[in-house]
Amino acid sequence: MCGIFSVYMSSTFTNKEKLKDIISLIATLSQTRGQDATGIAVNNFANKEVHLYREPLKAKEFIKKKDFAKIFQSNFTGGACVVGHNRLATNGSNAYINNNQPISYRNHVCAQNGIVTNMEELIKEFPGKYTLDTYLISKIFDKALKEKKNIKETVKVLLEKVYGENNIIIDVPDLSLKL
């Protein structure tokens, strides 16, 4: 199975180098959960941008890349959420970047560890071409959130629809949502 992690950075934490060190450590420690690809998404609350970086590399190699360091050059004065993923490839080649996580879907970031066992059934209800079950999870979450307008009911819908063994991280930056 894969490794997933998330770190929330409040607006009062401004040490970018420390954040990079924390993420590097967590990604490297999570490497035992998946060595086929590593990825991070940084949801920057100040400018409402998501910076996504994924490579078919082990975490210890991934964190040495210039593109990894570049993500932490942003201004995080409004805070940020970092979602990370260490992939153990099961379905789909890790060389195809869209098979790797985390993903950015509309207004949120998602990573998951597991497998959706009822994909065929869900694709009928939520049509689309999915290279990754995480996109399907995100689409279901997004649709439910628009309909329910609160996190509790949205998560309930997601868990009722998605079968299998799944651990999911979803970063939703809209803090005005009701629980």
Quick: pLDDT tens for 152-178.
999 999 999 999 989 999 998 765 555
Please give the pLDDT value at position 92. 73
**Rounded distance, CA 109 to CA 160, Å?**
21
Q: Answer yes or no: is pLDDT of 130 > 80.
A: no
In this prediction, residue 78 carries a pLDDT of 82
pLDDT at residue 76, as a whole number: 79
Q: pLDDT digit string (tens) for 3-13?
A: 999 999 888 88
pLDDT at 162: 96
Q: Where are the alpha helices (DSSP H) in the chain?
A: 16-30, 59-62, 66-71, 119-125, 133-148, 151-161
